[in-house]
Amino acid sequence: MEKYSHLLFDLDHTLWDYDSNVRDSLLELFANYELGKLGNPDFELFFEAFQLTNHSLWEQFNRGLVDKDQLRAMRFKQVFTRAKLPVSKIPRDLEEEFIFRTSSKPKVMDQAFETLDYLKTKYQLHIITNGFNQSQYNKLKSSKLDAYFDLIVTSENSGFRKPDKRIFEHTLVKLKANARQCLMIGDNPLSDIQGAQNAEIDQVYYNPLNTKITIQPTFTIKHLSELGNIL
């Protein structure tokens, strides 16, 4: 087994429970703004529209097809269109309040703290995320994940986004480490796994849903606690 010194974690969907936290925020916003009165009272349809839209926009962001401002400007317009709600009725501050509420939510993935407690005694832990500075820092603080990590690298503070190998190379420079000393852990086959491969860094594909992918990671796990079997 290669002796790693640095573990590089993705944040959303890997440690911070993005789907649960987003759902909680949208439930609050759906009720507070009485969005069900705009023509579709079914929250589940609204949530499904958000999930489909948000996934598509983040895929475009990861591929460099949209930037931060475009993603945020387009998000709820596309959600309302998909949910068959009038775009003209989007509350003025909906996007800003969504970001604030969601990044303040504390839910983490199952066994996240227990796994990090174990790993922190043996390795230096860091975050590499395509998320944006303020929201990612808020998520780390609100969930109490912040105490575990030494270096936080975002697409904003590095100037690059995964899967571009330059965000990993930027991280290596910051850590004064080489690729062999690092292991990337994440849930996204493109940004986390292919990105780390681009930088010749070993990877752990966190795959709780057993999703089939075309690339071959160094390791695959279905549960965070399985990292203890690898490390």
Q: Residue 165: is its pLDDT beyond 90? A: yes
pLDDT at res. 39: 85
Helix (H, G, I), strand (E, B), or coil: what is residue 63?
coil
Q: Residue 131: is its pLDDT beyond 80? A: yes
Say how many CA atoms lie within 13 Å of 212 toward its Cβ: 0
Q: How far apart are CA 226 and CA 62, in angstroms?
A: 27
Q: Residue 139: is its pLDDT beyond 90? A: yes
The amino acid present at 107, given as its one-letter code, is K
pLDDT class for 3, splitting at 50, 70, 90?
confident
pLDDT class for 2, splitting at 50, 70, 90?
low
Structure tokens at 70: 């475009």
Q: What is the pTM of this model?
A: 0.93
CA angle, residues 15, 224, 110, in degrees to nearest 5: 65
pLDDT at res. 95: 96
pLDDT in tens, 70-88: 999 999 999 999 999 999 9
Q: What's the average model confidence in pLDDT over 119-134? A: 96
pLDDT in tens, 166-190: 999 999 999 999 999 999 999 999 9
Say how many CA atoms lie within 13 Å of 9 toward its Cβ: 28
pLDDT in tens, 194-231: 999 999 999 999 999 999 999 999 999 999 999 999 99
Question: What percent of the chain lies above the pLDDT cut of 90?
Answer: 95
Question: What percent of the chain lies above the pLDDT cut of 70?
Answer: 99
